[in-house]
Amino acid sequence: MNLNVPLQQIKGIGEKTAAEFEAAGLHTVNDLIHFLPRAYEDFSHVTTIADIHPGKMTIKARCEKITTRPVRRGLRITTATLADETGKLQAVWFNQPYRETQLKSGEEFYFSGVFEFNFNKYQLTNPSAEKVSDMPVHTDRILPIYRSIHGLKTTLVRKIMNELRPLMSMVPETLPISIVKSENLVSHSDALLGIHFPEAIDDISKAKERIGFEELFALLLASQLNRIENQKLRGWRIHFDRTIVKAFVLKLPFELTGAQRRAAWDILQDFEKKVPMNRLLQGDVGSGKTVVAGLAARQAAHEGFQTAVMAPTEILATQHAQTLSTLLSPFGVTVGLLTGSVKGKARQTLYDAIKKGDVDVVVGTHALIQSSVNFHRLGFVVIDEQHRFGVNQRHALLLKSAHMPHLLAMTATPIPRSLALTVYGELDVSVLNELPKNRTPVATKIWSPNSRMQLYGLIESQLIKGRQAYVICSLIDNNPDNELKSVQAEFKRLDQKEFKHRTIGLLHGKMTATEKNEIMKRFTAGKIDILVSTTVVEVGVDVPNATVILIEDADHFGLAQLHQLRGRVGRSAHQSYCYLMVSSSKTPSRRLKEVEKSNDGFYLAEVDLRLRGPGEIYGRAQHGELNLQVASLADTKLIARTQKAAKAFVESGADLLHYHQLHRDVTQYQRLTTLN
């Protein structure tokens, strides 16, 4: 049988079942045999009732009697008498009344659960129950449990897998044999058998090791190959002119940090090479990435190259255009802003200027990648908050140049080492691991709503000194279905009650771009004391005079997001404060405590990776496509091992085309993970 045949051709799969699988993304036999169990039920050690002793147990028995009774509101207890040839035993389920229908048939079941002393007698508590006749093979074994697909039962999936078992044992090897041998892995087909039909727990771990290795191998190979391909590209060489750079640095109102100098040096060195730069600039919030990009843009402009700076929000693009214009206009470098709000004639004029090369630095949102935008000579592309963009968007911008331009991707979301190795393995990285000298760490504290008035007192004490504050809420409007705070309601309350004597501003994503810009302008100019905002201010916004941020319903936000929000303050020499208000008086989550404890974005990213997995850090949309069923991006040991093997494979000069499956996966990943 061919692995690529549609599922409908398999015995036991009708049109309806096939459609369900289809909807879950399983189209072919190959897809299905790689659909892995989410867990196992261990029926490999079955005890007789006479032999039972406390602990986790499995028995094979029939149900003789079963009743359900309500104990109190919200609690129903189902009690059953189970029997085998050696004796009888009581089983109890809490709030699982459906057990009655399931077990009344009188058929034989495997029951697996904890046998314990409870309510003054020994009983089996909350056991799972699997019909013996549903077992694909009629031996006692470890049973896979599949993620339920729409209405399809795990028993049906098991039955189909059993149909496919002979095929699994014939599936060809997908990895190079030399690697399977040297890494001491089980073969592809043994891995499939081990994962779907394990005879011992050890089979599962061996199978998982092999599958995990393979998943990471494809990913790491892809990034190695991307790196090699990048080396072959030819771009623009931009000469590094020290007098130009020096003049720019001298004119800054501050001294660059050592880290900023090193990053700028890295970039200017890359500019001079034939191979286009492919660099990630990682720097914690407030570490001063913008000025580094500005410096490089200055050099590019001097050599007659245009720079494009793309930012994820209009607020941020507007702010960057202002900052860069201040930095660059003294040198005659022109800066243009292209966003959705630039319309009609103004837009056309800007297009023409970009095309003629009259604008040196074009700052914008996604508007930059539209087909009507044509550059005269685009030599340098900066993508701020790069994880907010998809591969295609980044790619579209790079394609606006006749030659591959130099790329600087910037992010304030630190990438843990394991991710840097895998997903971003092909990049050169510069790190701003040093904050500007004048900063004092933001003092962070968790607050309970009971002390709200006291907290407002603290905020007022900052406002009296002429500082400004943010109040962040998760909702725009009140929602009857939950009790989260909304900017509308908080704005109204603060404006009319607690901070009646102050100027309060309101900012959220449903306002028009012009309204948002107006508010940001007034806040930046110090004309608003308290800005009540949703997370639209989360990325990049820079108002150094703001020294307080109060985050309402803080437990509702992710760790990285809280750190980003906190980064809105602490941008000047003044001591800044971040107040995390919990929704209720219950104990604050681990997340909040970590944010309270640490100001270090890299440390927090590692914690985040452990608490929530890599999806949040890498970007949800993209992570879904990584298709890692077994391997974890937090498994640094396996990553290091796989990395070595992938390197060796590339160096051996082996031809990837010989390995169809691997070649397909790698090509897919290459497209997904590349920055250019």
Quote the least distance from Cβ 633 to ligand ADP, whole Å: 25
Site string for ligand ADP, 217-236 (x = CB under 6 A): --------------------
Comparing CB distances to ligand ADP, the nearer of 235 and 286 is 286
Q: Coil, strand, or helix at residue 60? A: strand
Number of residues written out for the chain: 676
| Residue 386 binding partner per list ligand ADP, Mg ion, none, with a CB distance cut-off of 5 to 8 Å that depends on partner kind | none
Decide if residue 298 touches ligand ADP (CB under 6 A). Answer: no
Decide if residue 286 touches ligand ADP (CB under 6 A). Answer: yes
Tokens coding 581: 């208000």
Answer whether 553's CB lies under 8 Å from 474's CB: yes
Site string for ligand ADP, 532-551 (x = CB under 6 A): --------x-x-x-------
Site string for ligand ADP, 551-590 (x = CB under 6 A): --------------------x-------------------
Decide if residue 526 touches ligand ADP (CB under 6 A). Answer: no
| Residue 544 binding partner per list Mg ion, ligand ADP, none, with a CB distance cut-off of 5 to 8 Å that depends on partner kind | ligand ADP
Near ligand ADP in 357-416, by CB under 6 A: 412
Quote the least distance from Cβ 526 to ligand ADP, whole Å: 14
| Total chain residues near Mg ion (CB under 5 A) | 1
| Residue 366 binding partner per list Mg ion, ligand ADP, none, with a CB distance cut-off of 5 to 8 Å that depends on partner kind | none
Decide if residue 283 touches ligand ADP (CB under 6 A). Answer: yes
| Residue 254 binding partner per list ligand ADP, Mg ion, none, with a CB distance cut-off of 5 to 8 Å that depends on partner kind | ligand ADP
Near Mg ion in 613-672, by CB under 5 A: none
Residue-wise DSSP of 133-197: GGSSSSS--EEEEPPPBTTB-HHHHHHHHHHHHHHHTTPPP-S-HHHHHHTTPPPHHHHHHHHHS
Near Mg ion in 499-558, by CB under 5 A: 540
Angle formed by the axes of helices 188-196 and 201-232, nearest 10°:
140
Relative to beta strand 378-383, strand 406-411 is parallel
Comparing CB distances to Mg ion, the nearer of 364 and 540 is 540
SS (H, E, C) 321-357: HHHHHHHHHHHCCCEEEECCCCCHHHHHHHHHHHHHC
Decide if residue 283 touches Mg ion (CB under 5 A). Answer: no
Of 304, 337, 334, 217, give the one whose Cα is nearest residue 648. 217
Site string for ligand ADP, 431-470 (x = CB under 6 A): -----x-x--------------------------------
Ranges of H-type helices in 391-532:
391-398, 417-422, 452-464, 487-496, 513-524
Q: Based on the number of CB atoms within 10 Å of its own CB, is 278 exposed (0-12), middle (13-18) or buried (19 or more)?
A: buried
Quote the least distance from Cβ 425 to ligand ADP, whole Å: 24
- ∠293-297-299 over CA atoms, to 5°? 120
- ∠295-296-302 over CA atoms, to 5°? 95
Residues 6+ apart with CB under 8 A from 304: 377
Near ligand ADP in 144-183, by CB under 6 A: none
Quote the least distance from Cβ 260 to ligand ADP, whole Å: 6
Quote the least distance from Cβ 572 to ligand ADP, whole Å: 7
DSSP letter at 568 equals: T
Comparing CB distances to ligand ADP, the nearer of 422 and 564 is 564
Quote the least distance from Cβ 365 to ligand ADP, whole Å: 16
Quote the least distance from Cβ 544 to Mg ion, whole Å: 13
d(Cα 350, Cα 147) in Å, to the nearest integer? 53
Q: Coil, strand, or helix at residue 611? A: helix
Neighbours of 661 (CB within 10 A): 18
Interface contacts to ligand ADP, rule CB under 6 A: 254-257, 260, 283, 285-291, 412, 436, 438, 540, 542, 544, 571
Interface contacts to Mg ion, rule CB under 5 A: 540
